[in-house]
Amino acid sequence: GVSTEQGGPSQPAPCHSRLKSENFALGCGVPLGLDSVSGNALAFQPRDQLIAAASGNSVRVIGQDFELTLHSTHTPFRIEFLLFATPELVLAFGTATRAAAPREAIQEGPRRPDRASAVWLAQWWDLRAHGGPG
C-alpha cells in the first residue's frame, strides 16, 4: 500500500464531482468541425501550435493563422504514422499498394488473378516551401 507522510496507510483521494472555472483554460485557435481533423494519423507541433491529420493520400496541417493540404506523390498511399520530425518538417510513414505485372496467359488451367503488393514508404514535406511557419 501507499503510505502518507506520517507512515500510515493513505486514504483514497477525494472525488470532486463539481467543476469550477479553474478546471478550464481558454485559448485561441481555429474552429474545428467534425470533418476538420479526422484521419488515421495525427501529429501535434507545439512551437507553432500546428495539428497535422492524415486522410487518404493527403495531410492537412492546421494552425491558428495557417491551413494547408499536402498531397502525396504516391497513389494510393495510406498514411499510418505521422509526426513533425522538426518544427518545419512533416514526416509520414505508410503503405503504398501497386498492382503486380500481368502474368502471361497460361494454356493449362484457369488463369490466376494478378496480385497486388504493398510496400512501406516514407514521405516528407518542408512547410517552409509551402509558406508555412518556420
pLDDT digits (tens, 9 = 90+) for 81-109: 999 999 999 999 988 887 655 554 444 45
Question: Is 95 in contact with 119 (CB distance < 8 Å)?
Answer: yes
Q: Which helix (H) or strand (E) holds 21?
A: none
Gap between the Cα atoms of 108 and 131, Å rounded: 59
Gap between the Cα atoms of 80 and 76, Å rounded: 13
pLDDT band at 60 (very low <50, low <70, confident <90, very high): very high
The model scores a pTM over 0.85? no
Q: Which three cell numbers stand for residue 45?
A: 507541433
